[in-house]
Amino acid sequence: MATNSHKPEVTGFYDPRTGSVQYVVADVASNKCAIIDPVYDYDEKSGQTATHHADELLQFVAQKNYQVEWILDTHPHADHFSAAPYLKEKTGAPTAIGEKVREVQELWKGFYNWPDFPADGSQWDHLFSDGETFKIGNLEAKVIHSPGHTLASVTYLIGDAAFIHDTLFMPDSGTARADFPGGSAKALWQSIQTILALPDETRLFTGHDYQAGGREPLWQSTVAEQKASNIHMAHYLNEADFIHARETRDKTLPMPKLILHALQVNTNGGRLPEPEANGVRYLKIPLDLLSGAAWGK
């Protein structure tokens, strides 16, 4: 049975534009917290950026009188910009991500034709290795490399709460896609098995929710619930069947509308491009890079 000493307070903040969930994870005994997967607002139609969601997190932290000890990303996101550097500027807390981000950087620096881009992870304050431990206040935290959706994906196990990013969604929504550059349905299966091997009562917090059937957004489940009723994991009971179903499904999915916008920002630690001589920042969109992907509507 989980005790308060290893049961963090978890507050989710939902972004309906991207279906993303941001988290503040707190040790209430010490008033220390971490922020996970924060969103920096971006409107692709107008090119405007803003900090509405990040400021909401800061307001919550201030109201609770929490001290931010870590700003964590689970992976380089393909559907939103990371607000990690903005939040570091406001809080002074270090930023971190899994060390395999260097492999993602190396892949995408070629896609963006960035020969001088430093693919060494130096854009973050810390790169976590698989199995590494750290603390949030008195809470014990552990990093689990969870590839499949991306090469660099990690799960943060903080007390009895696991932040499982884009591996498992809510049970009525199945599992994450694995067809991005560097993705692998086989690796995703193996990562999910590791997550489902955690104690049944472990709370699981997913990185996205797309409101299956029009329901309200949800983002918390348990290992037991996922094993019993996840529409993929309770149906595809062996690796081969899962891989076939996942790859067949992925072939029908258009790319996220912001993948080419977001990866150039998020492989750079969430930093926007530097302004050009006229003071304006510009994104660089490669054409026909992801040829063969299903066309969006």
Asked if residue 176 is part of any domain, the answer here is yes
- Convert the pLDDT of each residue in 118-170 to its tens digit: 999 999 999 999 999 999 999 999 999 999 999 999 999 999 999 999 999 99
Amino acid (one-letter) located at 2: A
Asked if residue 283 is part of any domain, the answer here is no
What value does the mean pLDDT of the chain take?
A: 96
Residue whose pair of structure tokens reads 């989980």 in the numeric block: 2
The span from the CA of 173 to the CA of 277, in Å, is: 46
Asked if residue 120 is part of any domain, the answer here is yes
Domain that holds residue 188: 8-266
Confidence of residue 5 (pLDDT cuts 50, 70, 90): low
Asked if residue 85 is part of any domain, the answer here is yes
159: domain CATH number is 3.60.15.10
In the three-class reduction of DSSP (H, G, I as helix; E, B as strand; rest coil), residue 169 is classed as coil
End-to-end CA distance of the chain: 48
Asked if residue 274 is part of any domain, the answer here is no
The span from the CA of 187 to the CA of 183, in Å, is: 8
Asked if residue 277 is part of any domain, the answer here is no
pLDDT value for 3:
40
Q: How many domains does the chain have?
A: 1
Contact criterion met (CB below 8 Å) for 6 and 140: yes
Q: What is the mean pLDDT of residues 181-209?
A: 97
- Convert the pLDDT of each residue in 250-283 to its tens digit: 999 999 999 999 999 999 999 999 999 999 999 9
The span from the CA of 280 to the CA of 240, in Å, is: 49
